Structure 1
Amino acid sequence: MGRHSRKGPVPKGAGSGGAPGPASGEREAAVASPGSGRRRRSAGSGPEQHTSAGTGPFAGPARGGHPEHHESGGGWGDWQTGTQQQVRTVPPPAAVGGPRIPGPRREFVEAFDAPAAGPAPDPYGPASDPAPEAEALGADEAGEPLAKGGKGRTFTGVAAAAVATVLAVVVAGQVAADRHDSAGARSSEQDRRAVQERPGRSDGRPAPAQEAARPPASPTYAQLMTRQFPIDPELRASGEFEAVPGLDRAPGKGRKIRYRIDVEKGLGLDRGLFARAVQETLNDERSWAHGGAMTFERISSGRPDFVITLASPGTTATWCAKSGLDTTVDNVSCDSASTERVMINAYRWAQGAETFGPGAMLAYRQMLINHEVGHRLGHNHVNCRTPGALAPVMQQQTKSLDIGGVECKPNPWVHPGE
């Protein structure tokens, strides 16, 4: 039963339309006529056909286009037979211009509250009420709200559809982003591999920056022996000596002569280069070791036979003066016989002499070593006797190649050409 019913006689005009009304005093369900936005024709006017006017309690033009599905057990009745299966009788709607019964559409409320009163209506029967379309919009054509249950279901469906749409959009966007990221990662990896595998133009060639940063190759012994080194001709260094460490064994079978090499501290010259030059020169077949007469061995500790000393011009003059020799004239070297030292003037070692010139530094240094060691071995000066011949190694070739009008050629060896 509906919660809102009314007692009393039916309003005037309620019985128009040809349908008998209920008895006076009978309780009736107030029925609101569903509007369609048009003015209704009064019931009974015109033939009662399904195509132009519906039968039953709601008269008026019917809308076509889709079948209406009526719920069973409610106030719809049997629309095929035109009879009402509902226990109560509902009068037809009032004529145009008649008074409207106020209140909500209670037949929907009672239809859901009341038990089924008859068989299920035929969904393909005649349709004349446009209320289902209005219900889909949430209100009838008269602006009255729908029942609470239908409106809740409508809102629930709309909310569910909205949530589903949002989820679909989010999932689609995430999938697209994942595909884009995956494609981008694959593309980056392929590009990286292509760059690594692609041969460059400069493969095998160092870059200009690398070439500039690469240190120059160290000069060889032969190259260093041809160079001149800067030094002050009046230099006087510390006067202290330091032995060149290491051992160079005698390579021959003759009489072994042991020597040590000292270099004055603060001289600024390569002591290793000097020590190698002495060892290779003395043991050369063209030198004093010719024919296996003797062999030379360099030591850095123990008692040597003599000490070959590389010293500044000032220090050389001091040690040569101990043996009564003056080296300040022409800035030459000497064998200080009263001492253990064979003095090699560092200026001559670094700069050479005019008699040989700057292009024969190697030959001059070989001559300088052989000449001063020759004095230590007991040989005196010997001058050139044949013009144009090679000067003897014991001639003072640093001072001159022309002795007594006989000019000879520079020569560094004891036994040249052998």
Structure 2
Amino acid sequence: HGVPRVRGGHPEQREPGGGWGEPGGRPGDGYGSVTGPRNGAPASFAPPSPSGPVSPSGPASPFPRQRQAPGEGPRQDYLDAFGADGDVFAVRPRGRTPGAARPADPYASVTDWSAADGGASGGGGIPGGAEADADDEPPTGEPAPVKGARGRTFTGIAAAAVTTVLAVVVAGQVADGSDGSDMRAQSATDQARGAHDPASRDDERPTPSASASAKPLTYEQKMGKTYPLGATLKASGKFDAVPGIAKGTGKGQKYTYRIDVEQGLGLDGGLFAEAVQKTLNDDRSWAHNGARTFERVESGQPDFVITLASPGTTAEWCAKSGLDTTEDNVSCDSAATQRVMINAYRWAQGAAPYGDAIHAYRQMLINHEVGHRIGYNHVTCDKDGELAPVMQQQTKFVDHDGIDCRPNAWAYPNG
């Protein structure tokens, strides 16, 4: 309608020709030194003069113009323009109705709570929730500080505490010679793994065990080891039968036997039983050419009982057949009883003529004592360099009467 378009800008922007009475303004009626609408705005919206004259286009403005120093908060005339019930500069949750009870917001920052809020109570911080909220009162005097100042103080304190803790952690890592790269690498690895793998292990990814890297010893390895046992040990004198049975070759004369191990030896009874069965049924042993077969049982009445016992107990059982095993600490076939006695000290430690060949010595020990049980007596070698007969007392000696023999564990060493 012929009125110049309103020019934008901040309400307090000073510029020539505005409605603030600045020099160079356009003169007008009823506005003191400045008249007319500011920047071409309608007269009804022009800012009033300090004296509040009547506007050319209407009655006197109810909002007297007040100058205010910078930094003193919002102008009072702007506060008054929005009425006594509204504080447009107060921070409120979106969509909140003044005076209404505020439900607790579980997601609100705890640092925004203050004594005026009453924490998370349902009555807006006042018991019963009946009184009006302090935020709903009209502003008086100087504008109140924006809510949350105390909360921001608490936030600053918390941030300072966290910074202090982080500084201590970093200092500890530097003192330890670590820059935290290991932890960062581990964190990155965990994140990458978590994107593809479940939190716990499943059947598709086996859990490593402590014994996975340590493979169990083979029979040969166990038979090549010596084991601790005292030369004068006298154990309990009580025996346990090794459970299980083992069939022989099924050819020739059949012998059944049971394996007993004295309690308290600390030796592997299963290894001893396995060694007896394999040795006796070897073709180099008494089963040569199918002449005999040896079968292990665990109960009933076997033909004999091969017994692993301490030196003291061995001596007791051998004495029942008139044999003295205390000299040279040897074994025996106690012919007056069912027991073929194997001295556990010799089984565990070996004998000097065999040196480190403990496996071969144990085979000789079994073949020698069982040979007595099936009817063979002691013999010796006759020529230098010959293998000693298995019935020679090889625990005591290999060489005799100037004849040098070689150790031998088999009745038929050539097969």
Residues 190 and 295 of structure 1: CA distance in aligned 2, closer, same or farther (over 3 Å): closer
Any residues of structure 2 matched to 1:143-292 within 5 Å, and which? 154-156=81-83, 159=86, 162=89, 193-196=191-194, 216-292=214-290
Residues 376 and 214 of structure 1: CA distance in aligned 2, closer, same or farther (over 3 Å): same
Any residues of structure 2 matched to 1:79-158 within 5 Å, and which? 128=56, 132=60, 134-137=61-64, 154-156=81-83
Task: Check if 1:375 corresponds to 2:372.
Answer: yes
Q: Is the 8 A contact 1:60 1:128 kept in 2?
A: no
**Paired AA for residue 376 in structure 2:** H
Determine the C-alpha separation between the residues in 1 that align with 2:233 and 2:225. Answer: 20
Structure 2 match to 1:124: none
Deviations 1:75-103 (A, max 9, x none): xxxxxxxxxxxxxxxxxxxxxxxxxxxxx
Residues 64 and 262 of structure 1: CA distance in aligned 2, closer, same or farther (over 3 Å): same
Q: Is the 8 A contact 2:285 2:411 kept in 1?
A: yes
Determine the C-alpha separation between the residues in 1 that align with 2:31 and 2:288. Answer: 149
**Paired AA for residue 64 in structure 2:** L
Residue 269 of structure 1: how far off its partner (Å): 1.3
Structure 1 match to 2:346: 348
Task: Check if 1:361 corresponds to 2:361.
Answer: no
Deviations 1:156-210 (A, max 9, x none): 39937557x856799xxx9xx9xxxxxxxxxxx99965355799xxxxxxxxxx8
Structure 2 match to 1:68: 43
Residue 279 of structure 1: how far off its partner (Å): 0.5
Deviations 1:111-150 (A, max 9, x none): xxxxxxxxxxxxxxxx758964x433379xxxxxxxxxx9
**Paired AA for residue 375 in structure 2:** G
Residues 156 and 324 of structure 1: CA distance in aligned 2, closer, same or farther (over 3 Å): same
TM-score (norm 1): 0.57
Residues 153 and 328 of structure 1: CA distance in aligned 2, closer, same or farther (over 3 Å): closer
Residue 256 of structure 1: how far off its partner (Å): 1.6
Determine the C-alpha separation between the residues in 1 that align with 2:190 and 2:395. Answer: 69
Structure 1 match to 2:396: 399
| Aligned with residue 303 of structure 1, among 301, 306, 310 | 301
Alignment gaps of 5+ in structure 2: 1-18, 46-52, 67-76, 97-104, 109-186, 198-207
**Paired AA for residue 283 in structure 2:** E
Larger Rg: 1
Q: Is the 8 A contact 1:63 1:129 kept in 2?
A: no
Determine the C-alpha separation between the residues in 2 that align with 1:288 and 1:151. Answer: 121
Aligned length: 276
Q: Is the 8 A contact 1:258 1:299 kept in 2?
A: yes
**Paired AA for residue 250 in structure 1:** G
Determine the C-alpha separation between the residues in 1 that align with 2:232 and 2:28. Answer: 141
SS in 1 for 2:247: coil
Determine the C-alpha separation between the residues in 1 that align with 2:370 and 2:291. Answer: 15
Determine the C-alpha separation between the residues in 1 that align with 2:260 and 2:28. Answer: 139
SS in 2 for 1:137: coil
Determine the C-alpha separation between the residues in 1 that align with 2:345 and 2:188. Answer: 67
The structure with higher relative contact order (CA 8 Å, sep 6+) is 1
**Paired AA for residue 278 in structure 1:** V
Deviations 1:236-276 (A, max 9, x none): 11111121111112233222210011111112211111111
**Paired AA for residue 234 in structure 1:** T
Residues 52 and 260 of structure 1: CA distance in aligned 2, closer, same or farther (over 3 Å): closer
Determine the C-alpha separation between the residues in 2 that align with 1:344 and 1:137. Answer: 123
SS in 2 for 1:368: helix
Determine the C-alpha separation between the residues in 2 that align with 1:168 and 1:271. Answer: 83
**Paired AA for residue 340 in structure 2:** V
SS in 1 for 2:353: coil
Residues 191 and 137 of structure 1: CA distance in aligned 2, closer, same or farther (over 3 Å): farther
Determine the C-alpha separation between the residues in 1 that align with 2:272 and 2:216. Answer: 17
% identical equivalent positions: 53
Determine the C-alpha separation between the residues in 1 that align with 2:364 and 2:31. Answer: 145
TM-score (norm 2): 0.57
